Each structure stands twice: as C-alpha cells, then as structure tokens.
Amino acid sequence: MNVDTTTPGGIQHAKDLNIAESGLAKIIFSSYFHGGSELFNPVNRGRFFTIFRHPIERAASLFYYRQTATWEKIFGLNTLTLEQFLRKGRGEKNWMVRLLTNKFTERLTGEDLEVAKEILRTRCVVGLMDRMEESLDRFSTYFGWSAPDGDDCKNELLHKGVNRNSHAKVKVGSEAWNIMYEQNELDIKLYEYAQVLFEEQRLLFSYEGSQR
C-alpha cells in the first residue's frame, strides 16, 4: 500500500483505501492529529504517541535544517540569519496547539491550550526528545513492539539519528529566543505540561518486562 499520511491529501487517500481495516499498516505517522484520527473507527482503533521537543529548540532546528535542505523547495533561507527570518514575522507560531485543536489560522486562546492538554492527557503516550531512550522503551512496552534487530535499530537512532543538522543553540534571553518565546507561548506551556505527563505516565510502565 503506497500512501503518504504526512499530508491532508495523503490522509484522504489512505482513508479511501481503508488503511485501518486492511491491517497492512502497524504504525501511521502524521502531524495531522484530527485527520489521522479519521482513519480509525470503533472496530479498528488507533493509539496515539508522540515525542516532544522544546518548541524553541524545534523551531530553530527547523530553520537551520531548511537552510541546507534544498529538496524542501523553501527558497531564500540560506541568505538570512535566524534573527532576520524572525523579524519578518516568519517561523512557527504555536504549531503543536494548532495541530491538536485543528485551528490553523484562527486566533488561539487559553481555552485552546486546555483542549490540547486534555487530548494529551486522555489519548497520548508521551515521549520527550531529551529522554529519548526511555521514551523508546516506553513505546516498545506499551505497544508490545519487538524485532530481532530492535536493539540495533534503537542504538542507530539514538547515536546517529535521522536528518541531524548541527547548528548553534539559541541562547536564552537573546533576541531570537525572545521572539520565538512570544510566538510560541502556548506551545511552551503545552510542552511543560507534556513533561509533567511524562513523569505521571511512568506509573503505567514497568521495566521488568510487564505492561501496565
């Protein structure tokens, strides 16, 4: 089955193909929470997991990645500094809250943040990028994943990663940090809540091999 669930059109294509009913896909990756949820039904249910990264680190990393990723077809970034890019009003603006509430253009409020928090609390197995190994172990335990080369795959991801791009870190209190903080204040609060959930969900797991 050839589908791309990272785009709305691809999600619709997967829905037309009854991807959940087919049993051919064990894991579906998508940034579109609501669209992805529509692929499932009460008979063929899905379970939601994600890995959180600090919103400012994520936004800065995406900028520097796109400076070098010519295949992304986003032009002009290689001539700008991060500060220049942000002064133009570009960059992420509460991307996580928008995806979870399905509000891509509307003004966000504190109520939207609470909706996003509730979705995470009730539906999501939370992982953290700065706790990657423990996060991967939790996912394996919760979903019952196992493979002969599973440890090799995990070590490859932990030590080499995918699409890694070295760049300078954004300093706390710098112009770039302050602009991104203002643009992503709700996302930062959601990230802080995800950190709390990560600790609370520890009770769901046992690293002696039993689940829940």
| DSSP class per residue in 38-79 | TT--SSS---EEEEE--HHHHHHHHHHHHHH-GGG---SGGG
Q: 79 vs 130, which has greater pLDDT? A: 130
Q: Is the pLDDT of residue 68 over 50?
A: yes
Residue carrying the six token digits 């990264």 = 53
Q: Look at residue 175 and tell me whether its pLDDT is greater than 90.
A: yes
Residue pair 59/92 in contact by the 8 Å Cβ criterion: yes
**What is the Cα–Cα distance from 63 to 69, expressed in whole angstroms?**
10
Locate 94 and state its tokens.
């509460």
Q: Which of 23-27, 75-79, 89-93 has the highest mean pLDDT?
A: 89-93
pLDDT digit string (tens) for 40-55? 988 988 889 999 999 9
Residue-wise burial string across 124-135, b where 16 or more C-beta atoms lie within 10 A, e elsewhere: bbbbbeebbeeb
Structure confidence at residue 128 (pLDDT): 97
Q: What is the mean pLDDT of residues 73-88?
A: 83
Contact 93, 106 (CB under 8 A): no
Residues 110-128: tens digit of each pLDDT? 999 999 999 999 999 999 9
